[in-house]
Amino acid sequence: MPDSATPGFDGLEHIVVLMMENRSFDHMLGSLGLDNPNINGINNATDSPDTTGAVVQPQPLAEFQGQLNPDPDHHFPAVDLQIFGGNTDPNRTANMQGFIKSYFNQQRDVAHSQKIVYYFSKDNLPVLTTLASEFALFQCWFASIPGPTICNRAFAHYGTSFGRVDMNPVYISEPFRSIYSRLINASPKHTSKLYYYDVPSSTMEIVNILQNQPELFGTFEQFLNDCANGQLPDYSFIEPNFGDHESDGGAQAANDQHPDHNVQAGEFFIAQIYMAIKRNPSLWTSTALLIVYDEHGGIYDHVVPPSCIADQFTATANDTGTNFDFHFDRLGVRVPAVLVSPWIPQGAIVNRTFDHASIPATVTKFFLGDFSPRSPRETTANVFIEPKGPQANLNNNLLSLAAIRTNCPEFDV
Amino acid sequence: MAIIHVPRPPMSAFNPNREASALLRTQVEHMHIAERRLPERYRTKIYVNAIQTEGEVAAYIGQVTTAIAQAHQDAARKRAKLTARPGSMLKIAAKSDSRPRSKSKSSAVGNNSAAARSKGKSKSK
């Protein structure tokens, strides 16, 4: 039997997804474009008008904490302004010129509003930028809808938000199971877990999964133990710490990077997860880790979100808070997304379009193959790991190296 | 490759008295919906409208998350107890078989053939 040409892909057993909070691609990874013209980052960014008409350039002046206060508005109407620059004409074109105007609306401070186009220099984010440079950088990963957290995270769990564009509970109205239920109820059964940071931080998916299937959850401490003991499930979803709180283990600073939480705390968290997998050689060779952000948090990005296949739901003009219905046929703003595996060539850049529906799409196809019912958005989403078998498009396989890399980075966490 | 240093956030980054964001307030709302579905003995005594800080959010969310898990564990324990008593269930079934049948005409005719059919079926136990 000949050796496999893609041993990393053939030997893949675990998929881990970490979903962070509220930062845009240009804000976190746009600086990489200044060194690498193949990356569509700040090198291609456009200037934005402020409310006085002055033109403002993006600058590497983003701060770890205390700058984006108040929290930039990222609800549907505000994101509409950010993308379309305030144009409400039915035949309007997106121009990504409304970020400063949107932030100005919150505090009426011209100087402060300009900070929404600030970005991090590469050196200030050593973990995320290193992983983006060393592994696979997705430069066309978008939020699933141009709106806030809860409905975007729903796409990662269900492949749809069941018609929601706001922060109200997502109630399941169609027989679209969560990715976790699909896996644990499959035959043969697969294993799956949502790891929240700790009990006081808990999960953002409460009304359906926590309330009905609390056994699906574990803590971050358990994740670390599961990595060390080789007991990681087939599919893991990790949620960061959403708020500062005291615990038996001491002060727990929020590490989700949601404004105005300290961005360095999130860098440390990402590094912990990466090193937990890497320290177990068996896990390291058989795991793919996706680091992605739920939405842009109202922060600047220059890439116009593309249209997509419509979901089967409609949000009315009343639901959206704009003059328009929304048919879930347009993606949200671009977010950072990186896929980590020692089988990925250094510096890989992925130009295909993804959104969070790609997560259940990928995990389902990889572990279960054909599965229905699933939402239209999920069934048409690109996958970031090819399925096994004849359906695989090996041209898109990111775990393509014939030999495992021995030069992967390490962090002092 | 050299090990990359990851700077730790300063202690000043930690502030449990920070005003809760809209996201955390939403999380509290959703937890409250879940809490209202719990039997009263599992519910907190916390007035959610009074929650203002990240620390207060964490205290409430921690209690409700624990309560939900506890309610499910208690239900699972009760379920296990019910299914762990097969002997008593069979006795009840045996009792019902020995009760005298009614003497109505229709039941007498139907039962003879039904009884003959069910005899054959019950042997499979």
Preceding amide of A188 cis, omega within 30: yes
**Cβ neighbours of B65 in A, within 8 Å:** 199-200, 202-203, 210, 214
CB contact under 8 A, A409 and B1: yes
CB contact under 8 A, A207 and B16: no
Q: Is the pLDDT of residue B104 over 80?
A: no
Write down the pLDDT at residue A100: 98
Region A325-349: what's the mean pLDDT?
98
User: How far apart are the C-alpha atoms of A333 and A295, rounded to whole Å?
Assistant: 7
Q: Is the pLDDT of residue B116 over 50?
A: no
Amino acid identity, residue B39?
P
CB contact under 8 A, A199 and B65: yes
**Cβ neighbours of B3 in A, within 8 Å:** 410-412
Tell me which of A12-26, A123-137, B93-107 is least confident: B93-107
Q: Is the pLDDT of residue B16 over 60?
A: yes
Q: Is the pLDDT of residue B121 over 80?
A: no
Write down the pLDDT at residue B106: 42
User: How far apart are the C-alpha atoms of A43 and A32, rounded to whole Å?
Assistant: 9
Chain A residue whose CA is closest to B13: A262
CB contact under 8 A, B55 and A206: no
Asked whether this complex has an ipTM greater than 0.90, the answer is yes
Q: What is the pLDDT of residues A109-160, one digit of tens each?
A: 999 999 999 999 999 999 999 999 999 999 999 999 999 999 999 999 999 9
**Cβ neighbours of A268 in B, within 8 Å:** 6, 8-9
Q: Which of A195, A212, A178 is nearest to A364 (CA)?
A: A178
Please indicate if any CB of chain A lies within 8 Å of the CB of B68.
Answer: yes
What dihedral do alpha carbons A278, A279, A284, A290 form, nearest 10°? -40
Give the whole-number percent of chain B exceeding pLDDT 70: 68
Q: What is the pLDDT of residues A179-236, one digit of tens each?
A: 999 999 999 999 999 999 999 999 999 999 999 999 999 999 999 999 999 999 999 9
Q: What is the pLDDT of residues A286-324, one digit of tens each?
A: 999 999 999 999 999 999 999 999 999 999 999 999 989
Chain A residue whose CA is closest to B21: A71
Q: Which of A31, A53, A54, A52 is nearest to A42 (CA)?
A: A31
Q: What is the pLDDT of residues A348-378, one digit of tens each?
A: 999 999 999 999 999 999 999 999 999 999 9
CB contact under 8 A, B30 and A207: yes
CB contact under 8 A, A169 and B33: yes
Q: In what order do the strands lie in the sheet with A337-340?
A: A217-219, A192-196, A235-238, A14-20, A287-293, A337-340, A136-138, A348-350
Write down the pLDDT at residue A220: 98
Q: What is the pLDDT of residues B67-98, one digit of tens each?
A: 999 999 999 999 999 887 766 555 555 555 55
Tokens found for residue A271: 């590094």
CB contact under 8 A, A126 and B4: yes
Binned at pLDDT 50, 70 and 90, residue B119 comes out as: very low
Angle at A231 between CA A230 and CA A232, to 5 degrees: 100
**Cβ neighbours of B79 in A, within 8 Å:** none
Average pLDDT, chain A: 96
| pTM score, whole prediction | 0.92
Q: Is the pLDDT of residue B108 over 50?
A: no
Angle at A244 between CA A241 and CA A248, to 5 degrees: 85
Please indicate if any CB of chain A lies within 8 Å of the CB of B28.
Answer: no
